[in-house]
Amino acid sequence: MTKKAKWISTGIVLYVLFIISDIWLDYLNPQKIGITWTIFWFVAAFGIVYFFCFKNFIFERTMYYAKQLNLTKVELIDLLPELKKDQRVPDPKKFHLLSPIFSFSLQNLDLLDDKLLELGQQQHIKPFQ
């Protein structure tokens, strides 16, 4: 199973658990909160799950290329010229179960991912699966 398939499966499971918990606990009942709010929360939950899975997949790919290129945390910081002081770049040498949700923005993760993909292609590193 590829990493992308793993995160897609995780997202589907999380969303199904959200729906099952709603059916069981009845907290988004249209008769209680209205159909508009019910639809809003189902769409919002889908968006949150999609963001969570997308960011974690990109994070895993970025850490894969950083490890393959033997980059340190300091070298990753150097690749991000406009890094805010309150953002912490993850260390590729350490194990990360999930991507840092609040301490490292998706914008910086995307920039870092693009740069590392380019470096990986230049050095003929095996593509991330």
- CA atoms of 117 and 64, how far apart (whole Å): 10
Give the per-residue pLDDT at 127. 86
DSSP character for 81?
Answer: T
The arithmetic mean of pLDDT across residues 28-34, rounded, is 87
pLDDT tens digits along 65-115: 999 999 888 888 888 888 777 788 888 888 888 888 777 888 888 889 999
Q: Which segment of 7-16, 37-46, 102-111 scores lowest on mean pLDDT?
A: 102-111
pTM above the 0.95 mark?
no
Mean pLDDT of the chain: 88
Q: State the pLDDT confidence band at 48, using cuts at 50, 70 and 90.
A: very high
Helix (H) or strand (E) holding 57: helix 35-68
pLDDT of residue 43: 95
Output DSSP code: residue 104: S
Instruction: Please tell me the predicted confidence (pLDDT) of residue 96.
Output: 83
